[in-house]
Amino acid sequence: MSNNCLFCKIVRREIPSEFLYEDDNFIVFKDIHPAAPVHLLLVPKKHVRSINDLKPEDETIISGLFMLAKDMAKDQGINTSGYKLLFNVEKGGGQEIFHIHLHLIGGWKKTAYI
Ligand code: 5GP
Ligand code: ZN
């Protein structure tokens, strides 16, 4: 946990957010500025700054995020139409919130070229 981290505050429910999913290790909520009809953020409860900061013991965070992404895509009805999964890494990679998260993006009417 990190005191000043926005996503840690969301995990602690200090900032009210509607969770689409929660278990002991992860939460899922809608991105506040959606880049597509479906844009979810899959967030581990453990504070890890970015992909760069993963330790060997964090392997289950990454595997868990991808397994959860698969389930959330089906839940959102976009598993067969298709979707994108994205990690932004550090400022140059577009990361704005320095608490690791996986973007699940989809729901376009046509094929996406973004
Ligand atoms: P990043 O650029 O770090 O990969 O992604 C951070 C994402 O968090 C952005 O897409 C941004 O729109 C989203 N975001 C920032 N602040 C909030 C917030 O307070 N609530 C929610 N639901 N999303 C947020
Ligand atoms: Zn955090």
Confidence of residue 112 (pLDDT cuts 50, 70, 90): low
Closest ligand relative to 97 C-alpha = 1
- Whether 101 is catalytic is yes
User: What pLDDT was estimated at residue 3?
Assistant: 80
Mention every residue, 6+ apart, whose C-beta is less than 8 A from residue 28: 19, 20, 21, 22, 40, 41, 42, 43, 68, 72
63 C-beta neighbours (distance < 10 Å), count: 10
User: What pLDDT was estimated at residue 113?
Assistant: 59
User: What pLDDT was estimated at residue 25?
Assistant: 98
Closest atom of ligand 1 to CA, residue 88: 4
Alpha-carbon Rg for the chain, nearest whole angstrom, is: 14
> Tens of pLDDT along 26-47?
999 999 999 999 999 999 999 9
Q: What is the pTM of this model?
A: 0.96
Domains annotated on the chain, with CATH: 6-106 (3.30.428.10)
Closest atom of ligand 1 to CA, residue 94: 2
User: What pLDDT was estimated at residue 2?
Assistant: 75
Is residue 50 within 6 Å of ligand 1 at its C-beta? no
Rounded CA-CA distance 40/76 in Å is 10
Confidence of residue 114 (pLDDT cuts 50, 70, 90): low
